[in-house]
Amino acid sequence: RPGLALCAGCGGRIQDPFLLRVSPDLEWHVACLKCAECGQPLDETCTCFLRDGKAYCKRDYSRLFGIKCAQCRAAFSSSDLVMRARDHVYHLECFRCAACGRQLLPG
């Protein structure tokens, strides 16, 4: 479909021999697909995340939209062990008694 598609990044017609399709209805010029936050090019070597029609690198997507610890407000990495209490999620080291500060253990 080159020549018929409109770039979601710049709005121009894609005449290039290649285009990047990130979702069924969003296509970009190869040079236009960049993280909406930091501007990092998003190509076949970088994971791309979409939110509200904008593309983000993994780091910025996690920072902006990922679940954060209810105590320290830092994002979680994929290797973090967490504790859940109702609608809140905590790093293990952040899950502490509000009165005495002692770390709370599962169970």
User: Does the pLDDT value for residue 1 go beyond 70?
Assistant: no
CA dist 42 and 30 (Å) reads 9
pLDDT, tens digit (0-9, with 9 covering 90-100), for 67-99: 899 999 988 887 888 999 999 999 999 999 989
- Break the chain into its structural domains and give their ranges: 1-66, 67-106
- Reported in sequence order, the residue ranges of the chain that DSSP labels E, i.e. its strands, are 20-23, 26-28, 48-51, 54-57, 82-85, 88-91
Q: ∠59-67-79 over CA atoms, to 5°?
A: 65
**In terms of CATH architecture, what is 1-66?**
Ribbon (2.10)
pTM over 0.85: no
Q: What are 17-63's pLDDT values in tens digits? A: 888 888 778 888 888 899 999 999 988 777 889 998 889 998 899 88
Same fold, 1-66 and 67-106: yes
CATH, range 67-106: 2.10.110.10
Q: Are 101 and 78 in contact (CB under 8 A)?
A: no
